[in-house]
Structure 1
Amino acid sequence: MLTSPPPQSSRRQFLTTSVAAALATATLPHPVFSGEPIVAPAASSPPPIRNAFAYRFAIGEIEAWSISDANLALKEGLGLMEPAADRPAMQADLMARGERTDVLPLYVNILVAKLGHEIAIFDAGFGAGKNPESGWLKTSLAAIGIAPEKVTHAFLSHAHGDHINGFVTGNQPTFPNAALHCLRDELDFWRSPEPDFSRSLRAKGPLPGMIKSNRAKFDILQPNLQLHRDGDALLGGAVTFVPGRGHTAGHALFRLRSGKESLLHFMDAA
């Protein structure tokens, strides 16, 4: 686990059309909602930090952070992206943003929200592993002063490794006191006798290992699981499940609301 953010991280952004509006219309005067970047505590002789490791903002009365979990460059490049006909446009967009085009940049951000006495996290990233360029979740949470046991609600958008793995640490729930919320359709898909990948363009070789891994994680998380359907609202209506099917059978998006402000948080959908 890293003790300080990696030096080469680029500017991260949530894939949402409403973040800018949420930031622009924040009205609370307290500086915690000022939208300033914050970084992890400095270690001795730290590497230079060029960008925010955690970014704090507001959604009405909700205190929120975008925290980093990974900064990867996938060697497969745009060959991973579908449909293939859109790849030239994707390449042009990367070039316009000053990104590399010989690899596929992957910035993994995690949304954390504080709603009164409740602390919610939306997906959990890759989890700790051997790659120093990923698995920064606990370091990022420490940077904003949140211990894993203080998290009371965890939301899973879908069960791919860069979203579910961080919910399990050492065969135990990473957030032992948090209810884990996901759509019933997502759990049912992975626990079905033969999950149907016939419409998926994903390479078939790794699928048995992925299925086995996800089932094991859901077994570990079972005591914390709470299953939902499209449109279910939690935390006094502050968080609503929005269907996002296509990437997986039970892919969920999340609408956060407070007062007149809202943010649609979506992952792996564009």
Structure 2
Amino acid sequence: MPISRRQFAVGAALAPVALRFATLPASAKVPTPTSQVLPVQQIKLGDAVVTAVSDGYLDLDPSLLSNIEMEEARAILQGAFQGEPPVTTGVNAYVVHLPEQTVLVDTGGAGAFPEMGKLQERLRAAEIPPEDIDVVLLTHLHPDHVGGLVLDGRLAFPNATVHLHQAEYDFWTSTENRDAAPDSAKGFFDAARQAMEVAGDKVETFTGNAELLPGITPRELPGHTPGHTGYMVGAGEDGLLIWGDIVHAGPIQFRHPEVTIAFDVDPKQAAETRKALFRDVAEKRTRVAGMHIAFPSVGHVVSEGEGYRFVSSDWQYSLD
């Protein structure tokens, strides 16, 4: 409700009273903070609420990037006030609170990297018990997205069905693909296969872009992996596209969508998918969220020169 002149005057009259209480001497020094407050942001989308949760972060060496000179990459990072490499990128997951179901998109990278694995404790702190998750949607099967699905040999979300694209399941569970992969990539196949084996008959695969759950539609975004998938919650400007790994090094790849990363299974296709998606969400003003956008990770893509830039969404003060 907009504040009136009278309400403002009443508030101003009470301010000196509040100030007297606020300036009472403290009984002890407040400890110096050593970590951020709970990294959670919530967004209202019609009948749904999306909770963005940070699982941690990852430091990326720009040498992993292709189609850009290191001098230019460093200059872009400097211009974005990111200092010297490596590039620190977020690792995020999203809870979609639907009227009848609670859905988790990706599970973080528990066990994959030391700076990750915070999702479980942060969900509980946000009063979202893992047991209350009804559905897990996976954008793809890289370890920083599926690593938190299985903990201590058991499903971390025991009451959830697990959905992913059929092409993604087939690629990472293929013995032939694993045998043909370089030794440095075999661990990716092993982690994916283990997660799928433990999930067992809870795994349900899909193809295409038909509505998967009421209010949630998958969007095929191949290239980073064969079955890489985003999930659209709602529709139009009032919705949110959770797009997975469309970017890793945001300041660089928004400006230069042609830049790929060593983790792309098909770099050429990944770049084409990114270019087309940037153009689409910019034209349609679609709000987006990414697993590797700096937390809180929700915003819009806008055209700028020959590239794009990311504009973070404002904090929503009310979810009514």
Q: Which of 80, 89, 110 does residue 64 from structure 2 map onto?
A: 80
Give the alignment of 1:109-258 within 5 angstroms. Answer: 109-128=92-111, 131=114, 133-195=115-177, 204-236=182-214, 238-257=215-234
Moved segments of 4+, more than 4 Å: 48-52, 86-90
Q: Distance in 1 between matches of 2:245 and 2:235?
A: 24
Q: Tell whether 2:52 aligns with 1:70.
A: no
Q: Distance in 2 between matches of 1:157 and 1:71?
A: 18
- CA deviation after TM superposition for structure 1 residue 92, in Å: 3.7
Q: Which has the larger radius of gyration?
A: 2
- More displaced 10-residue stretch of structure 1: 203-212 or 174-183: 203-212
User: CA contact under 8 A between 1:191 and 1:215: conserved in structure 2?
Assistant: yes
Q: Distance in 1 between matches of 2:230 and 2:55?
A: 19
Structure 1 residues 52 and 172, CA gap change in structure 2 (3 angstroms): closer
Segments of structure 1 that go 5 or more residues without pairing to the other structure are: 1-43
- CA deviation after TM superposition for structure 1 residue 252, in Å: 0.6
User: CA contact under 8 A between 2:123 and 2:129: conserved in structure 1?
Assistant: yes
User: CA contact under 8 A between 2:163 and 2:204: conserved in structure 1?
Assistant: yes
Q: Secondary structure at the match of 1:142?
A: helix
- CA deviation after TM superposition for structure 1 residue 52, in Å: 5.7
Matched residue type, 1:227: T
Matched residue type, 1:173: L
- CA deviation after TM superposition for structure 1 residue 88, in Å: 5.2
Q: Secondary structure at the match of 2:92?
A: strand
Q: Distance in 2 between matches of 1:129 and 1:183?
A: 22
Q: Secondary structure at the match of 2:49?
A: strand
Q: Distance in 2 between matches of 1:94 and 1:52?
A: 27
Which residue does the alignment assign to 1:28? none
Structure 1 residues 120 and 86, CA gap change in structure 2 (3 angstroms): farther
Q: Distance in 2 between matches of 1:115 and 1:93?
A: 39
Structure 1 residues 164 and 46, CA gap change in structure 2 (3 angstroms): farther
Choose between structure 1 and 2 for higher RCO, CA contacts under 8 A separated by at least 6 residues.
Answer: 1
Instruction: Give 1 or 2: higher helix fraction.
Output: 2
Structure 1 residues 45 and 100, CA gap change in structure 2 (3 angstroms): same
Matched residue type, 2:170: D
User: CA contact under 8 A between 2:178 and 2:189: conserved in structure 1?
Assistant: no
- More displaced 10-residue stretch of structure 1: 100-109 or 224-233: 100-109
Q: Distance in 2 between matches of 1:73 and 1:127?
A: 16
Segments of structure 2 that go 5 or more residues without pairing to the other structure are: 1-29, 248-320
- Counting aligned pairs with the same residue, the percent is 26
Measured on the aligned residues, the alpha-carbon RMSD in Å equals: 2.6
Matched residue type, 1:257: G
The alignment of Structure 1 onto Structure 2 pairs a total of residues equal to 218
Q: TM-score, normalised by structure 1?
A: 0.73
